[in-house]
Structure 1
Amino acid sequence: MDSNYERMRIMGKDLKGKELGRGLSQRPDGRYMARAQVEGQPIVLYGWKLKELKKELALAVDEAKRSTLLPGMDGKSITLSEWFEEWYAKYKAPTLKGGGSPSYKRKFLNYFGVRIGSKFLADIRQLHVQTAIADMLEAGRTSKSVREATGILQNCVEAAIANGLMSINPVVGVIVPKCEKVERRVLSVEEQEIFLDYLARTKSWYEEMYQFMLLTGMRVGEVGGLQWEDIDFANKFIYVKRTLSYQYENGKKTMKLTSPKTENSVRKIPFFGETREILERQFEKVKRKRVDLGERWRQPEELGNLVFLTSMGSPIGRYSVESDMRYVTKQINDMFRTEALYTGGIPKKFERVHPHALRHTFATRCFEKGMTPRTVQEIMGHANYNTTVSYTHVLDDIKLKEAERLGDFLQNKNNDETVEYSGLLGIM
């Protein structure tokens, strides 16, 4: 007898003595009765129409089998990110080399997890998925990477539907536009000054963190996972050893320190410019805040002595940084509009900035100051040289400046100055 699913062995009959099938019978009042058992759980149904009762029985048995497979789970009580962890462990990880892939999980968490991962499965609609896709593209994600993340979501959702956790597939019909190659967002020198000036004037809690990101080119997860023990003040080096990432355990979102993105991501970065002063200010600021909040300070001991924290002492995740940068961008544009009202001019526009844009900006500043591509590659932690080259951008003001230096092409004038192109090769 199958322990997982057993119907009653009694072969039932109708009132005329005709056999109806296992578990089916007809009562003296003419009603039909269907009985089954799943993992010791009895199922008893009644109905006047045998054909409809058989369908109801099949559905009830299927539902009972699913409930024993996923006890306590339904689409109204489990979030997308919680289901992803379940799906990844049971469905995907066994098919991947080595039993899992951190990059595969990061792709989902950093694209859809931070945007709609907290929604219950039963509440997710196509509009939510489409809005998330639009937000990714606006944040500078490429169409290719968004399409890959959407494919992961599709597989995850299909398994949820097969397990009765969702009734519709919100991924069906969504559109990932084929965009032209996205030019990475880089702050010009002027934009960088506006950005930093705003942080200073408003006394932003994250001022030192943003300055640090512009001085190191570190990924937002690496910044979130940086500990004071990773900083060598004597020799002026920062050691990148870990990254802070989101994970779900037993239905609860947690932050964990994991290994960096690639082997080359483990690296050391020299102090640039005001790095020491910024770190010293950060240390004193956090120290004062910890004393002010006392028992309300939320810093988790298991994550070590983190350098950068929220104003309440919590670890800083990607979503928190992205949210703050959206707010800063909005405030700067509001400031521009107010200035335009007083001057009667057209308001300037400060394009949206995302955390990775500060990494792109750092690489660009390095090349503007003549640093070699190989050195930038080591500092950025790129495994591939071409990745480093693709990170650099010749901004419009640099293009114009170089064009002016070359003088008149047709008249061959103003050619006394020799232009060194070796440094520009890494930029182009």
Structure 2
Amino acid sequence: MSRRTRGEGSIFQRKDKRWTAQFYINGEKKTKTYRNQAEAKEKLLEVKNALRQGNYCDPHGMTIGEWFDEWLENYARPSIKLSTYISYETYVRAHIKPAIGQVKMKDLNVELLQHFITGKSRSGRADNRKGGLSAKTIKNILIMLHEALKQAVENGLIPRNYAPREYTHPKLKKRKCGSLAVKNSRR
């Protein structure tokens, strides 16, 4: 049995039964956690091959925009309907990338996402008309964010999913119109 050379990388099982792949890049230790040993071995081999070929991309330097491009193409597209994919691609292109696309995944947090959602609900229309996105569009964006960030957690890009499953909308105000009370959805 041959011994590994220094810097070749290793995998080991954690107490929580998940597996960690560990390797060094420019003297800096990198670790990623996976569900099983085979997945950890496969990912470590991918990293070693990318390093050998000189095209390794550090996931901690990945931006939110880059992650969503990756997620749309490799995780969402194969598993969702075409119409849903088109909606998700539009949300990413028209809303996520312009607002928070340049933020590094490692800098993602709850406050950043809350400010993003709040801003979109107030004045986030892509067609430059006044007003914010509809409650339904906000809900759809949150569903997409939650799914994409769930995958990012599984891939070891972020420690937890920062996207809330639900968003608390401000109460709708009633205004009187003649003798009828009408709910005002845009205020």
Q: Structure 2-normalised TM-score?
A: 0.60
Q: Unaligned 5+ residue runs, structure 1?
A: 1-9, 11-22, 24-34, 46-52, 185-428
* Alignment correspondent of 1:166: 158
Distance 2:43 2:97 in 1: 25
Does 2:93 align with 1:109? yes
What secondary structure does 1:91 align onto? helix
* Alignment correspondent of 1:151: 143
**Where do 1:221-370 residues align within 5 Å?**
none
Distance 1:99 1:136 in 2: 22
1:175 shift after superposition: 3.1
| TM-aligned CA distance change 1:151 to 1:36, over 3 Å | farther
* Alignment correspondent of 2:75: 91
Distance 1:90 1:176 in 2: 31
- Out of 177, 182, 186, the position equivalent to 1:183 is 186
1:36 shift after superposition: 7.3
What secondary structure does 1:76 align onto? helix
Per-residue deviation, residues 153-207 of structure 1 (Å, max 9, x unmatched): 11111111111111122214773416535338xxxxxxxxxxxxxxxxxxxxxxx
Structure 1 contact 161–168 (Cα < 8 Å) conserved:
yes
Distance 1:99 1:141 in 2: 19
- Out of 100, 108, 126, the position equivalent to 1:124 is 108
* Residue identity matched to 2:154: A
Structure 1 contact 126–170 (Cα < 8 Å) conserved:
yes
1:94 shift after superposition: 1.6
Highest CA radius of gyration, 1 or 2?
A: 1
Distance 1:100 1:148 in 2: 10
* Residue identity matched to 1:89: E
Does 2:16 align with 1:59? no
Structure 2 contact 62–105 (Cα < 8 Å) conserved:
yes
* Residue identity matched to 2:74: K
1:100 shift after superposition: 7.7
Distance 2:46 2:76 in 1: 17
Distance 1:94 1:55 in 2: 31
Structure 2 contact 64–104 (Cα < 8 Å) conserved:
yes
Distance 1:156 1:54 in 2: 26
Distance 1:78 1:90 in 2: 16
What secondary structure does 2:71 align onto? helix
* Residue identity matched to 1:156: A
Distance 1:97 1:132 in 2: 26
Does 2:59 align with 1:82? no
Higher relative contact order (CA 8 A, sep 6+): 2
What secondary structure does 1:59 align onto? strand
Distance 1:125 1:174 in 2: 16
* Alignment correspondent of 2:177: none
RMSD: 3.7
Identity among equivalent pairs (%): 20
Distance 2:81 2:14 in 1: 42
**Where do 1:22-37 residues align within 5 Å?**
none
Structure 1 contact 77–120 (Cα < 8 Å) conserved:
yes
What secondary structure does 1:60 align onto? strand
* Alignment correspondent of 1:407: none
Structure 2 contact 146–165 (Cα < 8 Å) conserved:
no
What secondary structure does 1:94 align onto? coil
Distance 2:157 2:44 in 1: 10
* Residue identity matched to 1:111: H
- Out of 94, 97, 119, the position equivalent to 1:135 is 119
* Residue identity matched to 1:146: I
